[in-house]
């Protein structure tokens, strides 16, 4: 529903929120942990593009969002996002009405309020787009101490897949590319060699451990703390879970009437060329969100069919 709503086509990068989406885990210095979600709220506000304008821009200026961001920074109108977190204890997670690690569910703000952390401000444009943007290697497995993965299964998949993607795209030594290197820190480990090595390859230091030549030692301070798990291990069918109550809240309490109409029109425009039985299945599915939703979608499809005959 969000993809087909006004937020599905943001009016540039400056006017959209950002979300960590997954559930992560925060661990403090005494190894006390909580689950968390990350939110980045645009200080410029959230604004979408009408579908007809977006379609025109796709053909005339496909780099519209990048251009808008670049020009704002160049003119010193620095875009910013306020950074918030939501926090859930392990005990709360066990009693939560949904799977707290389900990527398709949100944590209600009334129960788990946003906690303001700070701001993210973009105040400098890249000097060389290829070197500083195209070669960026984002990977959720590269976490700083204090942030760890939760039992989120989709996150686990991405911990592997994103690194594999960057190794395929940029090479096994992509972390030696300046934009991906630790800032002013010299790496000492036992990972070396391979194509596209551009450093001194850690010189003559030993490449095995343990050794007798002052090689780096494992630092227990950075070990992942232990944690308890409970419950039965089994294969669960997630299709039986409640997948409609939260979309119903979005339809009834979040979207305004004109926003609902645009969302319905967007869905109808994408479904109109599908076979009739698939259109009926789509109407039935959205009708489970709200009866008006299904009826409005049927009316929108009937109008499109009438105009294309």
Q: What is the pLDDT of residues 211-248, one digit of tens each?
A: 998 888 888 877 887 877 777 888 877 777 889 999 99
pLDDT for res 112: 97
Q: Mind giving me the DSSP string for 165-198?
A: HHHHHH-TTGGGSGGGSPTT----SS---STT--
* DSSP 8-state assignment for residue 101: T
pTM of structure:
0.89
Query: Tell me: the pLDDT tens digits for 277-308?
Result: 999 999 999 999 999 999 999 999 999 999 87
Instruction: Provide the b/e sequence for 95-109 (b: ≥16 CB within 10 Å).
Output: ebebbbbbeebebee
Query: Tell me: the pLDDT tens digits for 123-147?
Result: 999 999 999 999 999 999 999 889 9
Residue 78 clears pLDDT 90, i.e. is over it: yes
pLDDT for res 257: 95
pLDDT for res 309: 63
């Amino acid at each position: 529903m969000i993809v087909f709503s006004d937020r599905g086509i943001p009016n540039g990068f400056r006017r959209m929120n950002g979300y960590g989406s997954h559930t992560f885990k925060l661990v403090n210095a005494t190894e006390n942990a909580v689950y968390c979600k990350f939110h980045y709220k645009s200080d410029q506000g959230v604004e979408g593009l009408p579908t007809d304008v977006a379609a025109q821009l796709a053909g005339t200026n496909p780099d519209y969002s990048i251009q808008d961001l670049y020009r704002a920074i160049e003119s010193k109108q620095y875009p910013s996002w306020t950074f918030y977190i939501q926090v859930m204890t392990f005990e709360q997670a066990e009693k939560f009405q949904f799977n707290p690690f389900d990527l398709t569910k949100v944590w209600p703000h009334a129960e788990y309020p946003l906690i303001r952390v700070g701001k993210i401000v973009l105040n400098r444009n890249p000097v060389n787009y290829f070197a500083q943007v195209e070669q960026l290697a984002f990977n959720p497995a590269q976490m700083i101490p204090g942030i760890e993965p939760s039992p989120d299964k989709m996150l686990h998949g991405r911990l592997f897949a994103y690194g594999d993607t960057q190794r395929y795209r940029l090479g096994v030594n992509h972390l030696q590319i300046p934009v991906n290197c630790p800032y002013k820190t010299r790496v000492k480990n036992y990972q070396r060699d391979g194509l596209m090595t551009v450093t001194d390859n850690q010189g003559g230091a030993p490449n095995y451990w343990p050794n007798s030549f002052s090689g780096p030692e494992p630092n227990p301070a950075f070990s992942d703390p232990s944690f308890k798990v409970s419950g039965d291990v089994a294969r669960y069918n997630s299709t039986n879970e409640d997948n409609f109550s939260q979309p119903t809240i979005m339809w009834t309490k979040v979207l305004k009437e004109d926003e609902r109409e645009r969302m319905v029109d967007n869905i109808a425009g994408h479904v109109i060329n599908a076979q009739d039985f698939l259109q009926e299945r789509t109407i039935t599915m959205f009708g489970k969100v709200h009866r008006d939703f299904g009826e409005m979608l049927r009316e929108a499809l009937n109008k499109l069919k009438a105009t294309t005959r």
